[in-house]
Amino acid sequence: MDYSTATLERSIYSSGTGFRKEVITNMAWRGCVLKWVNTELIRSTNTTLRSSREIPHYQQRYGFRQEAKRPDTKKGNVVQKTKVSPSEAGTQSLPPPPKVPRPSLFKPLMFTVGFTGCSFGAAAILQYETLRSLVRTAQDEEKSEKFSQDMTYWHDWWNKLSGFQRQLILLVSMVDDFWSSLSKGQKTVTGIIALNAVVLCCWRIPVMQRSMVKYFTSNPAAKTRCLPMVLSTFSHYSIFHMAANMSVLWIFSSQIVAILGWEQFLAFYLSAGVISNMVSYTCKTATRSLHPSLGASGAVMAVLAAVCTNVPEAKLGIILLPMVAVTAGNVLKALIAMDTAGLVLGWRMFDHAAHLGGALFGVWYVTYGHKLICRKQKPLVKLWHEARSPGAGGSRSGGGPGVNGGPGPK
């Protein structure tokens, strides 16, 4: 073996040894890496198992339950499930709302008849008592003549008063003079206006809203239907609505009280409010337009119709056009025509059925009703007179004050 051959073998041996060393080193590093990876995998597996064991315990402890995952569905399947055939779509659609049954009008009708009869019966008895008190007042006037002879006593009494007391007495006397200057109709209507003002203020109180809607609005579909037929006549939610109704009532109050008397006027006004609401109930039930309404328009229309029927040639001025004068009969015809058109065409700005009911009742009462009711009141007044003064019942049978029912229509 020469030098070159030995050197070559020595170099190969040495290179083979290095190769083996490198291979051994790489295998050692590979084993370390695999061991480390296996260790990490075992740790992660243990952690997962431990966490999976701890989740039920945590859920049981705090009352939570993890929602189970729903199996994934393909988009095509979802689309197929959501699609519904036309027949199925028709069956699954929402059912139509149930038809509201028409409310019964028997109780409101009986209430209208009973309330109207009681109102005119009470008015006849009240008129009897008023005439009776006037007779007593006339008899007591002779005793009051001595009062005017003691002027010196009242002069001394006035001088003893303080300045504040004198001013207070002067203020009361001014109010008394103003009240005395009013007619009987205006005095009667003043109480009605005051009552309407109180109800208007009650509408502005939030706590009373539910009670006001229940008792002071008339609705044929409501549970309470009879009492609101009376109370809604004194109910206004708008100041303009109340001002318009009460101004018309104030203008015609003197004429209507002169025709009927204040006692019969009160019965007529209350009965007109109830009858107009009954007509409104009937029209609302027939057209299934069940909505509440309020106001004194029906009763005011009855007063206006009664005056216009009694004095059809009277000249009435228009508020916005004072230079134009229209006869009362033409005004009544125009109002009835407008309310009839509103009822036929379905206008909802006003309760046209209530207006028509009040107007027709006013025309009927002045034409026929007043005489008829006065004749029916005679037995009641006679019975009341005998019960009021049993000792004089035989001598004054049928001749007591108020039997004739007061003044009739002109």
- Residues marked active site are found at 297, 355
Q: What is the β-pairing status of strands 325-327 and 315-317?
A: antiparallel
* Rg of the chain (C-alpha set): 48
- Alpha carbons within 13 angstroms on the beta-carbon side of residue 209 total 4
Nearest-angstrom CA–CA distance, 405 and 410: 14
3-class state of residue 317 by DSSP: strand
DSSP conformation class of 164: H
Residue written as tokens 């001595």?
146
**Dihedral angle computed from the Cα positions of residues 304, 306, 307 and 311, in that order, rounded to the nearest 10 degrees:** 140
CB contact set of 410 (below 8 Å; sequence gap of 6+): 259, 310, 311
Backbone angles phi, psi at 71, to 5 degrees: -65, 140
Q: For residues 335 and 355, is the Cβ–Cβ distance under 8 A?
A: yes
3-class SS string, 16-33 = HHHHHHHHHHHHHHHHHH
Consecutive H or E run containing 272? helix 262-287
Q: How far apart are CA 239 and CA 234, in angstroms?
A: 13
Tokens encoding 138: 């006339």
